[in-house]
Amino acid sequence: MNDDQAFRIFLITGTLLLFPVLAYHRLRSQSTREKLDRRQEGWFILLTLRPVGMAGMLSLFAFMIDPGWMAWSSVPLPAWLRWCGAGLWVPGGLLLVWTLRSLGMNLTDTVVTRRDHTLVTRGPYQWVRHPFYLSTAVLLVASALLTANWFVLACGVLTFTLLAIRLEREEVRLEARFGEAYHAYRARTGRFLPKSGRLAGRWGR
């Protein structure tokens, strides 16, 4: 078995374990049948984020079906570095599952909150305000390493950049919704990393 096939099997296994969990929580949160106005994200994010994310997903699926389909954008990476991607993928996936369980019915795919939205401060949210984005970033980097593919990396970097841009509007809306409670919560938590960590920097703002 060559390296591509080993990493292909790892990605397929991880996706088969993670996707049903994500689908369950997404469908469960949508059972309220509320219409969320995604235009609140702004037209730039609305027209770019999902197409870029879809391109990244399709490139991953193409690799999982046949790594040769993505050979045009592959880069030579040592096997040990690609296995580091596998090492990142596991905690990234576990963090995503923990985040989804903590969010419960509050899960949305936009900046708009639901009618019965609550301020979640349990689980990973007790330390960081956006563990969903953090787990996404970890999984994107891990996938780029596993596939050894610059196109997967480019889509991942662009997707996270767009999410970070959207995040500014999301936090404004959350503070408008929850007022002083969110202001106090924001003061004691980091954006992507715990606020007290030395490495937090801008990510722990």
pLDDT tens for residues 29-79?
Answer: 888 788 888 888 889 998 999 999 999 999 999 999 999 999 999 999 999
pLDDT bracket for residue 198 (50, 70, 90): low
**Residue 194 DSSP one-character state:** -
Give the mean model confidence (pLDDT) for residues 130-140.
96
How distant, in Å, are the alpha carbons of 113, 166, 202 from that of 184? Answer: 19, 21, 18
CA atoms within 13 Å, Cβ hemisphere of 188:
9
pLDDT tier at 197 (50, 70, 90 boundaries)?
low
Sequence spans of domains, the chain:
3-204
Identify the three-state secondary structure at position 35: coil
Specify the higher pLDDT residue, 175 or 112: 175
Q: What is the mean pLDDT of residues 183-194?
A: 93
- Residue 104 is classified by DSSP as G
Asked if residue 162 lies in contact with residue 186, where contact means CB atoms within 8 angstroms, the answer is: no
Query: Residues 100, 7, 80, CA angle at the centre, nearest 5°?
Result: 105
Q: Taking Cα atoms as reference points, which of 166, 140, 165 lies closest to residue 153? A: 140
Classify domain 3-204 by CATH architecture. Answer: Up-down Bundle (1.20)
What does the pLDDT read at residue 37? 81
CB 97 within 8 A of CB 14: no
Q: How far apart are the first and last CA of the chain?
A: 45
Q: According to the model, what pLDDT value does residue 68 have?
A: 93
Average pLDDT over the chain, rounded to an integer: 91
